[in-house]
Amino acid sequence: MQEENFFDESKKAVEKYLEDRILLLKLQSVEKISVLVSLMFTGLLVALLGFFVLFFISIMGGYYFAGLTGSLFLGFGIVAAIYIILLILVIVLGKKHLTVFITNLVIKIFFDQNTDNDDTK
């Protein structure tokens, strides 16, 4: 009788422990995903604002080069050529460096040991 009681209590304790560990895993996953989403949103906002700044600077550059060359077509063509060169550089170098940077950032967010409070420490 006492052995059955012991095994029932042990079974309940193990089930409770497993439920708590699953809950902890879910909470840690939500924390990591929320940090990742907030970083993505912040990056998107910075990119959008950067786009507008770059857009207006490009217009200024186009008119500046148009004043130097005496032709709107050539002025804005120079700005377009600069962007084409930058695009080629990003395509060539971006695969190597940008992909590695983003991958490492995501891995760092998911496996950051400073925010984990598990029992293995």
Residue 65 counted as domain residue: yes
Domain that holds residue 11: 2-110
Does residue 41 belong to any structural domain of this protein?
A: yes
> For the ranges 5-9, 47-51, 109-113, which has the lowest average pLDDT?
109-113
pTM flag (> 0.85):
no
Assign 77 a pLDDT band (cuts: 50, 70, 90): very high
Here the tokens at position 27 are 């909470």
Q: Considering the domain boundaries, does residue 120 fall inside one? A: no
- ∠ CA 83-49-100, rounded to 5°: 65
Is residue 24 in a domain? yes
pLDDT tens, residue by residue, 28-45: 889 888 988 898 899 999
Query: Is residue 121 a part of any domain in this protein?
Result: no
Number of structural domains found in the chain? 1
Task: State the burial class of residue 76 (Cβ atoms within 10 Å of its Cβ: 0-12, 13-18, 19+).
Answer: middle
Query: Is 92 within the bounds of a domain?
Result: yes
